[in-house]
């Protein structure tokens, strides 16, 4: 048990069952009644220096709360939603719940209260995977990212295109999965082209986004189609680049891409499955599963994000 000046934490690798693969996540447990300021959370996140850190607020058992409140922070800002922190935190807390209750199989249902809203969870005890019904308010911006803008940030792609080695579209969609989380979806023709993508020296800045959607995190999400899986799922290989950083697994970007492809390619009342592999080029292979359920009017009814996680470290931090 931590003291009043300490908090317990763990780190987990998400979207994998193997330690030191997938995407690392720090989870800080905050006991009920303990006050931790936003400034302290941001400072702790910078100390971990991972892509995201979550702060798991313990339930108020006296009030019989049926959800956990979870705050998600990047090094520079708080996020309303992010995929790998949601899945990683769900696997951790619901895996512990299964152990405490002596449950070895079946499904545990629960909820997280995020800044973007309530998220329903289903934890498969035997498989050790969590499935989240994620918040979504998909918005396709009128502004598109041009090929010239792509080539200005990715000179290897520009050079390969000039040499006739790869094709490139004239422009690319800019899509928000929720307000505050936006991705440029860049389809490439081959894994060879995907391997040419490189880090850039500055964070991405895009002018001209739609009104009320401008205040947002934005990054480029590169993808290559890989055919169909055994159960008819669409296979995709991806990379997420945000300036000088690459992310080994990005659940929000994967959900963003799956939602966009479903809106543009799927039929009414169809459920479309996606198997997304990310992080290969970093040596941290991640496996992300997504189901998109379409409504009768071809809008998106539900987006389910699924994956596993494995604990790597635990300890206590001072506040």
- Are residues 124 and 198 both part of a single domain? no
E-strand ranges in 40-88 read 53-57, 68-73, 78-79
Residue 156 lies in a domain: yes
Q: How far apart are the first and last CA of the chain?
A: 15
In the block, tokens 């696997």 appear at: 91
Query: Residues with catalytic annotation?
Result: 52
pLDDT on residue 47 = 97
**287-299 pLDDT, tens digit each:** 999 999 999 999 9
Residue 63 reports pLDDT greater than 60: no
Residue 58 reports pLDDT greater than 70: yes
- Are residues 258 and 211 both part of a single domain? yes
Residue 20 reports pLDDT greater than 70: yes
- CB-based contacts of 207-215 (< 8 A; 24+ apart in sequence): 208/143, 209/141, 209/143, 209/174, 209/182, 210/139, 210/141, 210/142, 210/143, 212/179, 213/139, 213/141, 213/176, 213/179, 213/182, 215/179, 215/180
Mean pLDDT across 103-130? 94
Residue 134 reports pLDDT greater than 70: yes
- Are residues 196 and 102 both part of a single domain? no
In the block, tokens 């995020």 appear at: 114
Residue 104 lies in a domain: yes
Residue 260 reports pLDDT greater than 60: yes
Give the distance, in angstroms, between the CA of residue 103 and the centroid of all CA atoms in the same chain.
28
pLDDT on residue 82 = 87
CA–CA separation, 120 and 131 (whole Å)? 8
Output the domain CATH number for residue 152: 3.10.310.10
pLDDT on residue 5 = 82
- Are residues 106 and 166 both part of a single domain? no
- Split at pLDDT 50, 70, 90, the class of 229 is confident
Mean pLDDT across 162-180? 94
Residue 90 reports pLDDT greater than 80: yes
Residue 191 reports pLDDT greater than 70: yes
pLDDT on residue 62 = 60
- Are residues 118 and 35 both part of a single domain? yes
Residue 1 reports pLDDT greater than 60: no
- Are residues 119 and 263 both part of a single domain? no
**276-286 pLDDT, tens digit each:** 999 999 999 99
pTM: 0.90
- Are residues 232 and 252 both part of a single domain? yes
| 108 close to 97: Cβ distance less than 8 angstroms | yes
pLDDT on residue 64 = 62
Query: What is the extent of the structural domain holding 265?
Result: 139-305
- Are residues 145 and 269 both part of a single domain? yes
- Are residues 110 and 159 both part of a single domain? no
CA–CA separation, 305 and 89 (whole Å)? 13
Give the number of domains in the chain: 2
- Split at pLDDT 50, 70, 90, the class of 96 is very high
- Are residues 110 and 224 both part of a single domain? no
- Are residues 184 and 279 both part of a single domain? yes
Give the distance, in angstroms, between the CA of residue 5 and the centroid of all CA atoms in the same chain.
31
- Split at pLDDT 50, 70, 90, the class of 59 is confident
Mean pLDDT across 26-51? 95
Spell 23-57 as b/e; 16+ CB within 10 A means b.
bbbbbbbbeeeeebeeeebbebbeebebbbbbbbb
- Are residues 106 and 61 both part of a single domain? yes
Residue 1 lies in a domain: no
Share of the chain above pLDDT 90, in %: 83
Residue 88 lies in a domain: yes
Cβ within 8 Å of residue 189, ≥6 positions away: 166, 167, 224
Across the chain, what does the average pLDDT equal?
A: 94
pLDDT on residue 316 = 97
């Amino acid at each position: 048990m931590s003291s009043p000046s300490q908090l317990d934490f763990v780190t987990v690798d998400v979207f994998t069952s193997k330690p030191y693969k997938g995407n690392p996540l720090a989870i800080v447990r905050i006991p009920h009644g303990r006050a931790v300021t936003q400034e302290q959370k941001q400072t702790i996140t910078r100390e971990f220096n991972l892509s995201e850190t979550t702060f798991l607020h313990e339930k108020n058992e006296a009030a019989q709360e049926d959800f956990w409140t979870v705050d998600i922070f990047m090094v520079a800002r708080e996020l309303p939603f992010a995929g790998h922190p949601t899945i990683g935190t769900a696997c951790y807390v619901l895996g512990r719940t299964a152990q405490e209750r002596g449950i070895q199989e079946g499904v545990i249902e629960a909820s997280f209260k995020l800044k973007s809203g309530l998220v329903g969870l289903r934890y498969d005890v035997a498989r050790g995977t969590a499935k989240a019904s994620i918040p979504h308010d998909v918005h396709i911006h009128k502004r598109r990212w041009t090929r010239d803008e792509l080539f200005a940030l990715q000179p290897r792609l520009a050079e390969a295109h000039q040499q006739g080695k790869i094709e490139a579209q004239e422009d690319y969609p800019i899509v928000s999965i929720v307000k505050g989380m936006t991705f440029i979806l860049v389809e490439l023709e081959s894994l060879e082209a995907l391997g040419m993508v490189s880090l850039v020296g500055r964070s991405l800045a895009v002018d001209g986004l739609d009104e009320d959607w401008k205040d947002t995190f934005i990054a480029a999400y590169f993808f290559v189609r890989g055919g169909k899986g055994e159960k008819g799922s669409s296979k995709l290989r991806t990379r997420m680049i945000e300036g000088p950083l690459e992310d080994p697994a990005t659940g929000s970007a994967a959900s963003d891409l799956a939602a966009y492809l479903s809106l543009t390619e799927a039929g009414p009342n169809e459920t479309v499955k996606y198997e997304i592999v990310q992080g290969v080029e970093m040596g941290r292979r991640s496996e992300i599963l997504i189901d998109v359920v379409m409504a009768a009017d071809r809008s998106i009814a539900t987006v389910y994000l699924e994956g596993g996680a494995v604990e790597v470290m635990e300890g206590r931090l001072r506040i």
